[in-house]
Amino acid sequence: MEKNIPEFTVLPKHIGVIMDGNGRWAKQRNLPRYKGHIEGAKTFRKIGEFAAELGIKCMTFYAFSTENWKRPQEEVDAIMQLFREYLNEAEERKEENREKGICLRFIGDRRGIPEDILALMEHIENESRYETKIILNLAINYGGRHEITQGVKKIAQRVLDGELSPEDINEDTLSDSLYTSGIPDPDLIIRPSGEYRLSNFLTWQSAYSEFWFSDVLWPDFTEDDLCKALQDFEKRNRRFGGI
Ligand code: IPE
Ligand code: IPE
Ligand code: MG
């Protein structure tokens, strides 16, 4: 059946999504929290595929922050197990993803991620690297401040090695030192679940992002919710400091 794909006058080049509210979704249903994460992973797939159909070129989904390690070990283990399952599934679906033109990438600090998960991540990234319809970045062990700190360390090392002089450091030098190097800054950041904060997501890159909040919990987030965010985005008057 042909799906009706809505059209928009302006589309964000890059959308960031903070996939929040999985735990509350499960609690509402008297289910263990990990069940919420399972549903959240399904929503990630659904929204990513829909965004590709809409013609959005890049999305970054916040899946696990550098602060989320503070959670009870049982929950961290369940989330890691879910990544494993998701990545194995993505590997099984590689032909389907190829047809859909999905390039899957991961951003975040790879240290600290279990070896087998890391190997799967690298494998999938490598296999999907030539796809051009949409880039789906999954932020795992990601923290904006940590990312900037790592970037600054890399720049400092280049200065020490004599490759770069301090007066040549500019905003592009810093942007290029981040995980998102080469990707435009997010035009739009979506946060569901009724929270109104960034929680260390794309700290540097969000300097001029538009924000869209919703009370919907991430597992309940639908294609229509994404369309609502895009309709609101169309109406935003972005000034970037001008008039
Ligand atoms: C987001 O959902 C997923 C992760 C942070 C891993 P939460 O687990 O934060 O869900 P709530 O905020 O407790 O409902
Ligand atoms: C942000 O959600 C991180 C992810 C969605 C991965 P959190 O649930 O960790 O954020 P806080 O703690 O409510 O700020
Ligand atoms: Mg949360």
Give residue 141 CA to ligand 3 midpoint distance, Å: 15
Task: Give exposure, 111-136, as e/b (b: 16+ Cβ within 10 Å).
Answer: eebeeebbebbeebeebbeebeebbb
The alpha carbon torsion through 131, 112, 198, 237 (nearest 10 deg) reads -20
Helix or strand or coil: residue 7? Answer: coil
Our answer on whether the CB atom of 79 is closer than 6 Å to any ligand 1 atom is yes
Mean pLDDT of 174-200: 98
Our answer on whether the CB atom of 68 is closer than 6 Å to any ligand 1 atom is yes
Residue with tokens 């260390």: 200
Q: Which amino acid is at 159?
A: V
Residue nearest to atom 14 of ligand 2 (CA): 199
pLDDT tens for 110-155 read 999 999 999 999 999 999 999 999 999 999 999 999 999 999 999 9
Instruction: Report the atom number in ligand 1 closest to the C-alpha of 18.
Output: 1
Beta strands in the chain (DSSP E): 14-18, 58-65, 102-107, 134-142, 188-191, 210-213
Question: Which ligand is nearest the CA of 218, by number?
Answer: 1
Residue 173 near residue 164 (C-beta atoms within 8 A): yes
Average pLDDT value over all residues in the chain: 97
pLDDT for position 4: 80
Our answer on whether the CB atom of 22 is closer than 6 Å to any ligand 1 atom is yes
Cα angle 133, 134, 138; round to 5 = 155
Most ligand 2 atoms within 8 A of CB, residue of 68, 70, 75 to mutate? 68
Our answer on whether the CB atom of 197 is closer than 6 Å to any ligand 2 atom is yes
Residue positions counted in the chain: 243
Q: What is the DSSP string of 48-72?
A: HHHHHHHT--EEEEEEEETTGGGS-
Separation CA 238–CA 28 (nearest Å): 38
Helix or strand or coil: residue 134? Answer: strand
Give residue 196 CA to ligand 2 midpoint distance, Å: 11
pLDDT tens for 157-169 read 999 999 999 999 9
Q: How confident is the model at residue 170 (pLDDT cuts 50, 70, 90)?
A: very high
Percent of the chain with pLDDT over 70: 99
Q: Using alpha carbons only, how large is the chain's radius of gyration in Å? A: 18
Give residue 72 CA to ligand 3 midpoint distance, Å: 14
Phi/psi at 196 (nearest 5 deg)? Answer: -120, 60
Our answer on whether the CB atom of 186 is closer than 6 Å to any ligand 1 atom is no
pLDDT tens for 35-61 read 999 999 999 999 999 999 999 999 999
Task: Give the Å distances, CA to CA, from 47 to 29, 36, 144, 197.
Answer: 23, 16, 23, 21
Instruction: Report the atom number in ligand 1 closest to the C-alpha of 33.
Output: 8
